[in-house]
Amino acid sequence: MTAKIHKTLVSAMVAVAIIPALTGCHIYNKFDMSKQAGDDALLQEYVKAADQTAAEGAIGTLTWQTVYTDPVLQGYIQRALENNIDLENARLNIEVAHANMQGARMSYLPSVAISPNAAAASYDHAPFAKTYTIPLVLNWEFDIFGKILNAKRGAEASYSQSKDYEQAVRSQIIAGVANLYYAISSIEAQIELTRETSEIWKSNVETMKAYKESGRTNEAGVAQSEANYYNICASLNDLEISLNEAMNSFSLLLGEMPHTWDIQPGLALEIPGAISDGVPMVELANRPDVRAAERAVAVAYYATNSARAAFYPGINLTANLGFTNSMGGAIHNPAVWFTQLAASLTAPIFSRGQNIARLKATKAQQQQTLNTFSYTLMSAAADVHDAIDAYERNSDKSVWLGRQVEAWQRSVDATTELFKYTDTTTYLELLTAQSGLLSAQMGAISCDLARTQSVISLYQALGGGGIADKEI
């Protein structure tokens, strides 16, 4: 039985000695994305771009104040950055990560504690003998095999990731405020147009009633004019519901209770620079969500290194310094100073299986973060492509819709004149022209909003607003 146990111990110790030799080559290495990228062309392109500086004037490098020049919008963005709950929580996450990082760095220092103890004992009815010890205990782990080092580096990567996340939230808030600001402006413009048109169509009802009295039209014409008026009143109600919902969302984003906001109708936004034909990887590399995804790979890398380091033994130095009266074992002894030094080595012999399992798990998790990082890059590129395409197509569409509005306006003017002064046209033709004009005008307003929102999306997709630029 003893021989069997001895054989088991020897086998375990050999395994402990062999496994680190096979797995420990990365323990002391710092995270290097170029090595993680391997032969992946996309990741290699990112590594090259990350060391470069974006071209001067590139959209993604502009401060949000340069992109959003409307002073009212600037004020709202500033309020959101000061009051938004999600952003405040992201800032608190930075504090948590910073505290964890400081704790990991302090692990290099010895732990110090005072551990006083006292006892009283009596043997064979003798008087109680009282002893006491008041030691100062120091414990110091030698980080020969990188356990503390990798924990520290992992905490530093997590801290950097928390800052990237805060910037990503910041960028989202800026984009969210801008989107809602222009959405409210667009709805206000639609409401203004709808109200003006409803007054015209209300007047049409009275005109048709008068025409009926004079015999120029019949009850069907009056009913059509009334139905047309009621329809636009109903659509106005829908627009006011949408406006109220947008106002509430805007309030929530600014960290305030729901209320109405004074935003002018018909506002628009232009791209403050040239658009690249392709996706600029340099600017994608500046996106905070991309940087956060890369930090996640680093955190997983150091977790894997920690799992590798677990195969190595731990070496601890313990020191006790203080005074005691227990050296002689007598109550009358005065306290005397004492010093003790001890060193210990803890080798992971029977935890080999657990360590191997943990290493496999951390390797798999590291690959997961790498896959996620690659997907984040592709998703970022898709965001840029979508925003550029939307901007260009809505710009072209805006031109065509403008011409359509002009054409329908001419049709309304001509049909109205003919209907008033001749019998060559019918109210149905006038109704068709008026409805066509309203539809074209509403479409033009919606297109302007889509074009504006594509500018906002492009700025955010290129990492804009996430950098720590100066506040106004």
Residue with tokens 């992109």: 67
- If one counts every other C-beta atom within 10 angstroms of the C-beta of residue 246, the result is 21
Mean pLDDT calculated for residue range 275-304: 86
> pLDDT grade, residue 184 (50/70/90)?
very high
Q: Give the domain ranges of the chain.
A: 26-103+151-311+364-461
Write b or e for each residue in 388-419: b if 16 or more Cβ atoms lie within 10 A of its Cβ, otherwise e.
bebbeebeebbeebeebbeebeebbeebbeeb
Q: Which of 117-121, 373-377, 431-435 has the lowest mean pLDDT?
A: 117-121
CB atoms within 10 A of CB 22: 9
Are 228 and 201 contacting, i.e. CB atoms less than 8 angstroms apart? yes
Rounded CA separation 429/410 (Å) = 13
Going by C-alpha positions, the residue among 270, 246, 228 that lies closest to residue 190 is: 246
pLDDT of amino acid 128: 67
pLDDT at position 250 is 96
- The least confident of 22-36, 79-93, 191-205, 213-227 is 22-36
Q: Please answer whether residues 146 and 28 qualify as being in contact, where contact means their C-beta atoms are separated by less than 8 angstroms.
A: yes
| pLDDT tens-digit series, residues 340-371 | 777 776 777 667 788 889 999 999 999 999 99
Quick count: other Cβ atoms within 10 Å of Cβ 448?
A: 23
pLDDT of residue 122: 65
| C-alpha span between 161 and 158 (Å, rounded) | 5
Alpha-carbon distance values, 398 to 383, 410, 438, 444 (Å): 22, 19, 15, 6
**pTM of the predicted protein model:** 0.81
pLDDT tens profile 415-452 = 988 888 887 788 888 888 999 999 999 999 999 999 99
Query: By mean pLDDT, which of 175-184, 290-299, 332-341 is the weakest?
Result: 332-341
Judged against a pLDDT cut of 50, whether residue 17 lies above it is answered with: no
**Nearest by Cα to 379 from 47, 86, 42, 41:** 42
Provide the token pair at 102.
């400081």
C-alpha–C-alpha distance, residues 271 and 383, integer Å = 16
Bridge partners (DSSP) of residue 138 are: 112, 319
For the chain, report the end-to-end CA distance as a whole number of angstroms.
79
Q: What is the structure's pLDDT at 330?
A: 47
> What gap in Å lies between CA 96 and CA 82, rounded to an integer?
20
**Single-letter code of the amino acid located at 296:** A
Instruction: Say which range, 105-119, 265-279, 367-381, 409-423, has the weakest mean pLDDT.
Output: 105-119
* pLDDT for 10 beyond 70: no
CB 156 within 8 A of CB 149: no
SS (H, E, C) 225-290: HHHHHHHHHHHHHHHHHHHHHHHHHHHHHCCCCCCCCCCCCCCCCCCCCCCCCCCCHHHHCCCHHH
Ordered DSSP codes for 111-163: EEEE--EEEEE-STTPPPEEEEEEEEEEEEEE-TTSHHHHHHHHHHHHHHHHH
- The structure tokens listed for 367 are 């690959």
Q: Is 124 left (phi over 0), alpha (psi -120 to 50) or beta?
A: left
Q: Which two tokens stand for residue 68?
A: 């959003």
Task: Locate 399 and state its tokens.
Answer: 């031109």
Identify the pLDDT of residue 462: 86
* Residue count of the chain: 472
Q: How far is residue 303 CA from its own chain's centroid?
A: 23
| pLDDT attached to residue 326 | 65
Residue 311 pLDDT greater than 70, yes or no: yes
Determine the pLDDT at residue 181. 97
CATH class of segment(s) 26-103+151-311+364-461: mainly alpha
Please state, as a whole number, how many other Cβ atoms lie within 10 Å of the Cβ of residue 150.
Answer: 25
C-beta separation of 321 from 136 below 8 A: yes
Backbone angles phi, psi at 404, to 5 degrees: -65, -40
